[in-house]
Amino acid sequence: MKIAMGSDHAGFALKQEVKKHLQEMGCQVEDFGTYDEKSCHYPIYAQKVTTEVVGGRADLGVLICGTGAGMAIAANKVKGIRAVTVSDCFTAKAARMHNDANVLCMGARVLGPSLACLIAQLFVETGFEGGRHQTRIDMISDIEKGK
Ligand code: RB5
């Protein structure tokens, strides 16, 4: 599984922890920055990571900022991206099973490292169920196309 990761300064420390956990799970993680805690702008990293996902170079993306909100707002501007801000294990799995979410956003000022790593693990391990959910994903794609 190829994972593209990114964060802003607020998410940097948590990104390092989640990256290590995903690598220990056997994921191939590419880190698109930021690489320190110097103040920066989260949309830059949302764009880098989502470009990898829609380009097929990554299977999933993980984005971390202070709340997970800004990253999700920015990521969802990109066609084909279904980004969700997640703070609990149930949503981590349901967002994959029902929504075929392809980008996980988390808040470093919201979650501790253990829960964030577990959420990332569940998100990566869980597959899309398809069926009736595919119909709804297709409807979302139609919204993107202005239909
Ligand atoms: C940075 O202070 C903060 O605004 C950012 O990390 C994020 O929480 C935005 O949604």
Mean pLDDT on 49-61:
98
98 is catalytic: yes
Q: What share of the chain is helix, strand, coil (3-state, %, to 5)?
A: 45, 15, 35
Give the per-residue pLDDT at 26: 98
- Burial, 45: exposed, middle or buried (Cβ in 10 Å; 0-12, 13-18, 19+)? buried
The mean of the pLDDT values for the chain is 98
Q: H or E segment at 142?
A: helix 132-144
Mean pLDDT on 71-84:
98
Is the N-terminal amide bond of 34 cis, ω within 30° of 0? yes
Residue 41 neighbours by CB under 8 Å, 6+ apart = 8
CB 32 within 8 A of CB 48: yes
Task: Output the CA angle 46-48-52, nearest 5 degrees.
Answer: 110
137-146 confidence digits (pLDDT tens): 999 999 999 9
CA-closest residue to ligand 1 atom 10 = 70
Query: Hey, which of 42, 44, 105, 110 would you mutate to test ligand 1's pocket, going by the most ligand atoms within 8 Å of its Cβ?
Result: 42
14-39 confidence digits (pLDDT tens): 999 999 999 999 999 999 999 999 99
> How many CB atoms sit inside 10 A of residue 39's CB?
8
CA-closest residue to ligand 1 atom 8 = 66
Confidence of residue 50 (pLDDT cuts 50, 70, 90): very high
Give the per-residue pLDDT at 29: 99
